[in-house]
Amino acid sequence: MFNSKDKRFSPSPPLSLSVILKYFPHPSLSCKALMGKTEEVKAILPAELRNMEEEEEEENNNNNSNKKLSEKLVNDPESLETVSKDYGNLVHDVPLAVFRPSSVYDIMKLVKVSYKRSVPFRIAARGQGHSTRGQAMARDGVVLEMAGLRKSEFIRVSVDPYNYYADVGGEQLWIDVLKKTVNDYGLAPLSWTDYLYLTVGGTLSNAGISGQTFRYGPQISIVRELDVVTGKGEFVTCSPETNSELFHAVLGGFGQFGIITRARIALAPAPKRVKWVRLLYNDFSAFTKDQEQLISIDGKKQNFALDYLEGMLLMHQGPVNNWRSSFFPLADHPRIISQVTKHSILYCLEVAKYYDGQNENNVDKELQALLQGLSYIPGFYYEKDVSYVEFLNRVRSGELKLQSQGLWDVPHPWLNLFIPKSQIMDFDSGVFKNIILKRNITTGPVLVYPMNRNR
């Protein structure tokens, strides 16, 4: 959320990586209190919106809708309820209205209205609402629903072999980017988030970190150009060479420096299949040592380097067959449970190696060479061979499973942290063992994996 009058757009100090920002609680405004108050809601923008309607008549060629801007503001209880919660389901802030644009022009006009007021109103761009602490909410302001722009697919691919890229609307979902680029062109971005039902603008505003980051960098590192609506309502195209200060501020800027309406994303030939492996450890030191060894292999110099690496905890408080660990065969669950019972925590190293027709005869040999000498528990090696798309969309099956159990929309008090290598052992003993285990705290997924600073 940003205040369009603040020329600096200084973000709140982050409490953690990506989406957890400083939050100051205040009394909640009930949706019921706003029922039937359409005129009161629109009074926050009255004269300005009425004056804009004449401008709109002259700008019809730039506006994809015959609706006036004021008619794109809604405040019915259902709409307000939807944007007053997010995936975290911990913060519930009700805006005065929801704005549903049909073009980038609409977004520019809305932000300009706020900027020109002596007391600007808050505007928060909302993609999928997958933040966890109310970052896409706008108490007493306007929530900008980016999904309205998704009605027209904005994913355009350049197939110049010397310059593969996709121009993608900020409102588009990564799963649709995957399907379009892979299925139609055999191309794909190199860096992804674990969960793909998120908007392009949303993840690029946070960083886009996952198990590919150690090799390919976060998602913001594969962006070549952006279209941004600034806090003044201006439309600016920026890149590392043009308007570079804005470009670098918006990427990973938590939405404080502008609204991403288009991103030019670098593409590369997509692999066909993935060797997907999980290894179990009972010793955290060995687990992290092996992780660090594997990410130290320079994939650009050594083609057989891994393409993905993450890690997770298996704890006695949670079932082995949870949404992250259904990977393991049912026949092995008793063996794994026995190890969890014995050690209280197991550490799961998860890696992947991509391949296609050119290297399918060597991929097994390359993978075994990479994993040779690792210190996992003997006999606890698990491997799958899946399509590239299936691997990237792996969290979806877990989502559907939790939805069927009514568990997808429960509160998610999630936290993402960067821990220095020098303190990771202290984190294991101090947090995992002396807090979570000792207090018998039930946990969701706990992911632990290293990244290279130079990415």
CA distance 356 to 363: 9
Q: Which of 86, 194, 225, 428 is catalytic?
A: 194
CB-CB contact of 141 with 94 (8 Å): no
CA distance 345 to 283: 9
Q: Which of 93, 130, 176, 225 is catalytic?
A: 130
CA distance 280 to 377: 6
Residue 243 has which token pair?
């308007």
Q: Tokens 């393409």 appear where?
A: 307
Q: Which of 56, 176, 310, 428 is catalytic?
A: 310
Residue 390 CA to its chain's centroid (Å): 18
DSSP 8-state assignment for residue 257: S
Instruction: Identify whether 194 is a catalytic site residue.
Output: yes
**Residue 80 corresponds to which amino acid?**
L
- Exposed/middle/buried for 177, CB within 10 Å: 0-12, 13-18, 19+? buried
Residue 346's DSSP bridge partners are: 314
Residue 166's DSSP bridge partners are: 157, 265
Residues near 178 by beta carbon (within 8 Å), at least 6 away in sequence: 188, 192, 196, 389, 392, 393
CA distance 32 to 247: 41
Instruction: Identify whether 310 is a catalytic site residue.
Output: yes
Q: How are beta strands 345-355 and 142-145 bridged, if at all?
A: unpaired
Q: Catalogue the active-site residues.
A: 130, 194, 310
